[in-house]
Amino acid sequence: MDMAAVSIWAVISFVIGLIVSTIIIYVVTKIFGGKEGIKAAFSTAVIGAIIYSVVYYLLGNGLLAGIVGGIAWLLSLRWIYKIGWLKAIVIGVIIWIITSIVGVLLPTAPGPL
């Protein structure tokens, strides 16, 4: 596969991941009484992607990067949805579980195209 196709696939994968994350965040926060709309869920998904990119760039892969990125994302979740730590942690864990399941079920790489 040439570099252009890889780049296009990376953008498509990112956009699909962002859409799926936005929907999951929106549904889970609604279940927990969130009044915010889809724009807040999208903002949360984008901020989460940015946070993880920066943290993994600075700290590399590993447990420390996951913990620091997770705490930073919880801070953004608290700020966007104006919720406490406990609610943010519960919502974050549920979002993480659902996105993990969806990540296994959805194809993550191009098939025999």
Tens of pLDDT along the chain (113 residues) come to 666 666 888 788 888 888 988 999 999 999 999 888 999 999 999 998 888 888 888 988 888 988 988 898 899 899 999 999 999 999 999 998 998 888 787 765 454 44
3-state secondary structure of 34: coil
Instruction: Tell me how far CA of residue 83 lies from CA of 16, 25, 34, 92, 104, in angstroms.
Output: 27, 14, 9, 12, 29
Single-letter amino acid code for the residue at 75: L
**Site of tokens 């999951």:** 24
Measured in degrees and rounded to the nearest 5, phi and psi for residue 7 equal -65, -45
Residues 6+ apart with CB under 8 A from 32: 87, 90, 91
Tokens of 55: 């943290």
CA dist., res. 30 & res. 23, Å (int): 11
- In tens, the pLDDT along 65-84 reads 889 888 988 998 999 999 99
Q: Supply the pTM of this predicted model.
A: 0.81
CA dist., res. 48 & res. 43, Å (int): 8
CA dist., res. 87 & res. 78, Å (int): 8
